[in-house]
Structure 1
Amino acid sequence: MTRQRTRLSRIAGRAATGLVSAGLIAAMVLLAPSAAATPEADADAAITAAWETGGGEGGPLGPRDGGVYPAGEGFGQKFAGGQIFFTPETGAHIVTGAILEKYEALGGPADSDLGFPTIDEGPGRAANSRNSTFSAPDNPVIFWTPDTGARVVRGAINSAWDALGGSAGVLGVPSEDEMTNGDVLTQKFTGGEISWNRKTRAFTTVPPELADQLGAIDVPSDATSAINAARRAAGGALGPLGAEEGAQYAIGADGVGQNYAGGKIFYSPETGANVVTGQVLAKYESVGGPTGDLGFPTASEADGGLAPQSRVVPFAAEDDPVIFWTPDFGAVIVRGAMNAAWQKLGGATGELGAPKGDQTDHGNVVTQQFNGGSISWDRTSGKFSTEPAGLQSQLVGLQVPGADSPAAPAPGSAATADADSGDKWYSWRWWWLLGLIPLIGVIALIAVAVLRNRRSHEDDGFGDDYADDRYDRGYDEPEYKQPEYGDREPDAPQSLWASAPAVSEVPAFGTISAGPDPEHRDESGDYDTDEDTGDYDSDEGDELEELHAPAEDLSFDSDPDAVDTAPTRIESLSEAPAFDPPTTAVWSGYEPDFPSGRHAAIQDDEPEDPGWTSMRLADGDRYRAPEGYPIKADTKSGLYWAPGSPGYRDTEAEIWFASEEFARTNGFVRAD
């Protein structure tokens, strides 16, 4: 019995060992393929098979030169006599010699727009020629002969070349790469040339009779091919666009965009693919880009024709807008009646020159300033007026594109004037409303201080004495006076505090200083100013200088009956009255979001003298300089004028600066 048990144990042990071994072998067989099935392993296997088919080490490729490496969306491997490139879609294909050099010079599989080879390099139909085709959507081919070298033929021109017999046909082999001139692509061959207009989608040829054979060719239009062509026309990776950033993205229903390090390309089936860069791109996107009211660009950014430098891009909106850029005035939109008239008068190279700022609306009249004058158009009458006036006669009967379209001022542009009053008010972005919080706090503190000041005067009787002494020294009570110009509400507030801007007008808080005394007028009622400096002139001497001291020194009238302590109604922006320069309360210390063309938000660096600011907004009389602020500045053009400079007296200011230094600090350029 003991021996039988021992034998059974041995048999069972051997059986168990056999089962374990079989299981391990089965597991290795089952798991080994999945462990080896990686993209790199697949590429290695396919490349090795292609190499061995081509003769291995004894073939034209020779021995391996390193292992398989990632290349773009696939893989490659180097050999002594060339390379093999692989993707699962294209397979593994051999490229050698001059064709390989051309392929890699254009960026190869990773950085060119050719894609991966779809056939092994082989002989062409022409004698002593070689060629290889590639996987890009526009079916490119690199064709080589000893006389012409390696040339790329692709897209519409490749379709036309094939239709005319290819390298064995009348045109022969390509002698140059494609060239781009605006919307026209042209390529020369040993027997002639082919041109294709991407907008009209028409072929022209040399000899011209060959074009008759190309009418039936249907050239496909896809976003990727069009974007690649636009990038090549702009210089490719070495041009202003630079390296590609990210993948293509959808815009609207059928538009496509592609970002690059130096700009963007926008595509739609109607407009094709077009390049926009730099400040033109920044301006375009600030008004909504391709989804805004300008639409898609209809041509790539091009030279604007002005020396030393200018750029222009047209857009697809019905009123034929363009964005025109110069170093002096930045990127400016010209559209509709303004663009039609400007082009009629010679555009940027005509008498008017470059645009200085976006158009502005004054009721039914549209106006735009240019370097050499201005154009105005009345929507109601359809008539133009110009400065110089002699240009007006050339615009009689001019058709205005998009004249029936509703006006749609671009967001952030200067075309936001009040159509009823003609006053220029600018839209504040919603986040400036946060400035109301500290402003309300400051107003509350001032109100408390005024009330406490009144109580102190009532207790000790100092207020009356102070008021009497003040008038003995020749000061008059500041009061609001109705100006002789501008539009006013009939019930405009009459106290100094009530004449201050409404809370809704001022986005942040700062200091307050008083303007010049109303009594300093000449016999005509105007302010007596120095024509050269714009400063107020007075025989009062030190008294006038003392009057213009900071607001903290002026204080308020200590007479309780003379102080307006009634709460000031918070008015909307459109309700607030304009300021009269003699009694204007100047608010400073905030940065309004003016439409500023190429300039950033205004900086307000405080001067060394406390109580005075580096700038003040132009209100009331915009031609006469407030005391201490002789520099005129215009936010739309980005220019400033100093006393004595050409155009100073005739220029309407939007901002006054204390000095040229402060104007330049805020990005303005001297007009002369």
Structure 2
Amino acid sequence: MIVGLLSMTAMVLTAPVAVAQPEVEANNAITAAWEATGGDGGALGPRQGEVYAVGDGFAQDFAGGKMFFTPDTGAHFMQGAILEKYESLGGPADSDLGFPTIDEGPGRAPGSRNSTFSASDNPVIFWTPDTGARVVRGPINAAWDQLGGSSGALGVPAEDERYQGSVVSQRFTGGELSYDTKTKTFTTVPPELAGQLQGLEVPDDPVAAINAARRAAGGTMGPLGAAEGPPYSIGADGLGQNFAGGKIFYSPDTGANVLTGQVLDKYESVGGPEGDLGFPVTGEVDGGITNSRMSTFAAEDKPVIFWTPDYGAVIVRGAMNAAWDKLDAAEGPLGAPMTDQTEKGDVVTQRFSGGVISWDRSANTFKTDPANLASELAGLEVPGQDAPASPGAQGADGDDGKGLQWSWWWLLAIVPALILIGLVAFAAMRTRRGRAPGHDGFEDGGVHDDGRYEDGRYEDGRYDDEDRIGAEENAAPAFGAGPGAPEPGVFGDDYDAALFGDRYAREGIGPLSSTTEQATSPEPVSSPWEAPPADDIDAAAEGEADIEQDEQPVAELDEEDPDDVDTAPTRVPTATEVERSALTDTGRHARIEPDEPEPAQPAFRLSLDSSGEAPEGYPIKADTKSGRYWVPGSTHYEEAQAEIWFTTEEFARANGFVRAD
């Protein structure tokens, strides 16, 4: 028994293992098909190399053509012009034709040859000496076959398919076929042929629709480029597919449409096809003005995303889109949209390059700037009034500087400003707490009846001018102040609040540029981002001795003996040390010793003058209207108008700006 078991074990261990060997299967099938054509003496001639993997199958080269194989399609060959056409479109690996399903052979037309392929829309490559090799597929192939194919009234294909919007067309030697993918209807040349196509059903194939949209966009040579994975499901019946340069979205109601660049980025920032815009109804089309693109979406309030180089991608929807479209959209007096719509109560407002639209939802009335446009909107029906509102303007959507809209990067700007102001206040309070009576050298402590020291400073550390300057800084100009402002009464007294809200007045944020009154004032306007004027630096040298004396000895004062004060001599800082930190060595803050690390400077500064010169340490220009920034030496850097200066490109990008070139 032991000897028998050992023998059986040895037989099992030495028996060949049955494993799947696709290369072997492919080699056997291709060899058999090649031998059926006559082998070395047949149409393909001798082998040139071994079987190799390609796409989802295998291939082998021969002197007179190639053989392709998959388990589903079998082994089939092509040669000559049909093979060249197949490989020029990407072959089995990169085209959407699939693998050949028949050997190349004669067509019905005299002197013609053809080969069919495995893609779901039944493509064929058809060749004649006069017309060359042409691909016919999908609805056009179905209609061509219905009309008799190459032996029918249309003859043989004379050109490849071409796309214009939702319509695909192809010319034949005897006429032309067109199919509208939205209406699912055929038109023909000559027209009487269309009657023979009544009732012809074209299956709705999502993958074929995505492939067609990709071809319409230029295929692998277009903006989409190479595919990045197969199609994937979206929701109940939608599909999407990613490409190197964009995406295609499909639903049975909207078909397949291509989105790329900033239009795609904007779309996905609000949820993409599962957001409140719905699936795209069109791909990107000409917006009607130079260098513009737009795409429409399926939501009930008929939204569009409109892109221009100046303002980026902006959503226009509902009442805003209805009114804008009524006024000839971007080609009309309002021009291109600059920012997304904003809402305050029942009032919806959107700014365009040529004016403003404001709509009161409760009253269903429009106001415009210019005011004369409002009369054209009387009685306008607003679609999808209950549709969700689009988000407010952000990042690259920009503004025109008249009423700067809040955006997320302004929140980032406030944080360092508040920290800096807090440090200044803390240092001032610490100085006041440490100052003993008479410490300033004035009689009776140097304080007048009105609470000021002899140098004009109040006990809380501020000066007269600071009250006035703070009031000027916190004053928010009304919308439209300055040249070109709307005439009073055009929109009513509450128009500014309806348009921009009351954040400026409530939170004390002024505009980027100074008002006319500020520009003509002889007093400088202080800013937490700017270094103090030269007078403050001089004050640093005079006041630093007081601060150093305040810090440690004051904490050791004998409360019962006010005369017990450390009278040791105080070191006077050099001019270099005074210049070292304009924000800390002002005489009102604790001085940082030279061997301590310097504090980090703010990441950006607002442009508060019109000189156009970069502040020291802030070489990066940024513009809120376009959401772009420029680096020194780049194109248009010199002529670009900076509203914000950044220390580095990283800070500019972190605040939502994109590089202009």
Q: TM-score, normalised by structure 1?
A: 0.68
- Measured in 2, the distance between the counterparts of 1:331 and 1:188 equals 37
The Cα of 1:281 is off from its aligned counterpart by 1.4
**Structure 1 SS opposite 2:386:** coil
Query: Does structure 2 retain, via aligned residues, the 8 Å contact 1:358–1:636?
Result: no
**Which residue does 2:28 correspond to in 1?**
45
**Which residue does 2:325 correspond to in 1?**
343
The Cα of 1:613 is off from its aligned counterpart by 8.8
Query: Does structure 1 retain, via aligned residues, the 8 Å contact 2:44–2:63?
Result: yes
Query: Does structure 2 retain, via aligned residues, the 8 Å contact 1:550–1:611?
Result: no
Does the C-alpha gap of structure 1 residues 74 and 201 become closer, same or farther in structure 2, counting only changes over 3 Å? same
The Cα of 1:527 is off from its aligned counterpart by 8.1
Q: Does 1:380 align with 2:388?
A: no
**Structure 1 SS opposite 2:453:** helix
- Worse-superposed segment, 49-58 or 215-224: 215-224
- Measured in 2, the distance between the counterparts of 1:41 and 1:639 equals 58
**Structure 1 SS opposite 2:436:** helix
- Measured in 1, the distance between the counterparts of 2:140 and 2:189 equals 13
The Cα of 1:219 is off from its aligned counterpart by 1.2
Match of 1:329 among 311, 323, 339: 311
The Cα of 1:304 is off from its aligned counterpart by 2.2
Q: Does 1:537 align with 2:522?
A: yes
Q: Does 1:400 align with 2:382?
A: yes
Q: Does 1:465 align with 2:455?
A: no
Q: Map Cα deviations across residues 225-256 of structure 1 (whole Å, 9 max, x no partner).
A: 11110110011001111111122222222221
**Which residue does 1:310 correspond to in 2?**
292
Paired residue type of 1:82:
G
Q: Map Cα deviations across residues 354-395 of structure 1 (whole Å, 9 max, x no partner).
A: 222222223322222222222222222222222223322222
The Cα of 1:448 is off from its aligned counterpart by 7.7
Paired residue type of 1:379:
R
**Which residue does 2:605 correspond to in 1?**
615
Paired residue type of 2:222:
G
Q: Map Cα deviations across residues 80-123 of structure 1 (whole Å, 9 max, x no partner).
A: 11111000111111112211111111111011000001111111
The Cα of 1:161 is off from its aligned counterpart by 1.4
- Measured in 1, the distance between the counterparts of 2:361 and 2:332 equals 24
**Structure 2 SS opposite 1:377:** strand
Does the C-alpha gap of structure 1 residues 113 and 424 become closer, same or farther in structure 2, counting only changes over 3 Å? closer
- Measured in 1, the distance between the counterparts of 2:248 and 2:94 equals 17
Q: Map Cα deviations across residues 405-445 of structure 1 (whole Å, 9 max, x no partner).
A: 34343695899xxxxxx996555899x79969x97899589
**Which residue does 1:125 correspond to in 2?**
108
**Which residue does 1:494 correspond to in 2?**
none
**Structure 2 SS opposite 1:343:** helix
Paired residue type of 1:468:
Y
Does the C-alpha gap of structure 1 residues 413 and 485 become closer, same or farther in structure 2, counting only changes over 3 Å? closer
Q: Map Cα deviations across residues 316-369 of structure 1 (whole Å, 9 max, x no partner).
A: 111111111111221121222222222222222222222222222233222222
Q: Map Cα deviations across residues 189-222 of structure 1 (whole Å, 9 max, x no partner).
A: 2222111111111111122222222232221122
Does the C-alpha gap of structure 1 residues 550 and 611 become closer, same or farther in structure 2, counting only changes over 3 Å? farther
Paired residue type of 2:624:
T
**Which residue does 2:429 correspond to in 1?**
450
The Cα of 1:276 is off from its aligned counterpart by 0.8
Paired residue type of 1:169:
G
Q: Map Cα deviations across residues 120-167 of structure 1 (whole Å, 9 max, x no partner).
A: 111112222211111111111111122221111111111111222222
Give aligned pairs, total.
536
**Which residue does 1:144 correspond to in 2?**
127
Q: Does 1:108 align with 2:91?
A: yes
Paired residue type of 1:398:
L
Q: TM-score, normalised by structure 2?
A: 0.69
- Measured in 2, the distance between the counterparts of 1:137 and 1:550 equals 82
Instruction: Report 1:10-21 matches (<5 A).
Output: none
**Which residue does 1:509 correspond to in 2?**
none
- Measured in 2, the distance between the counterparts of 1:139 and 1:258 equals 21
**Which residue does 1:497 correspond to in 2?**
none
Instruction: Report 1:52-63 matches (<5 A).
Output: 52-63=35-46
**Which residue does 1:250 correspond to in 2?**
233
Q: Map Cα deviations across residues 444-484 of structure 1 (whole Å, 9 max, x no partner).
A: 89648724641433595769327421229995285576988
Does the C-alpha gap of structure 1 residues 442 and 71 become closer, same or farther in structure 2, counting only changes over 3 Å? same
Query: Does structure 2 retain, via aligned residues, the 8 Å contact 1:255–1:267?
Result: yes
Q: What stretches of structure 1 of length at least 5 have no aligned partner?
A: 1-15, 416-421, 488-499, 507-514, 517-525, 559-587, 589-607, 619-627, 641-652
**Structure 2 SS opposite 1:468:** coil
The Cα of 1:616 is off from its aligned counterpart by 4.5
Query: Does structure 1 retain, via aligned residues, the 8 Å contact 2:228–2:243?
Result: yes
Match of 2:464 among 444, 454, 476: 476
Query: Does structure 1 retain, via aligned residues, the 8 Å contact 2:438–2:446?
Result: no
Query: Does structure 2 retain, via aligned residues, the 8 Å contact 1:414–1:426?
Result: no
Query: Does structure 1 retain, via aligned residues, the 8 Å contact 2:367–2:374?
Result: yes
Paired residue type of 2:97:
L
**Which residue does 1:261 correspond to in 2?**
244
Q: What stretches of structure 2 of length at least 5 have no aligned partner?
A: 398-402, 479-503, 526-531, 548-582, 584-597, 609-614, 616-620, 630-640
- Measured in 2, the distance between the counterparts of 1:341 and 1:615 equals 38
Instruction: Report 1:590-609 matches (<5 A).
Output: none
Match of 1:176 among 159, 162, 166: 159
Does the C-alpha gap of structure 1 residues 410 and 611 become closer, same or farther in structure 2, counting only changes over 3 Å? closer
**Structure 2 SS opposite 1:456:** coil
Paired residue type of 2:77:
I
Q: Map Cα deviations across residues 547-581 of structure 1 (whole Å, 9 max, x no partner).
A: 888998999xx9xxxxxxxxxxxxxxxxxxxxxxx
Query: Does structure 2 retain, via aligned residues, the 8 Å contact 1:304–1:311?
Result: yes
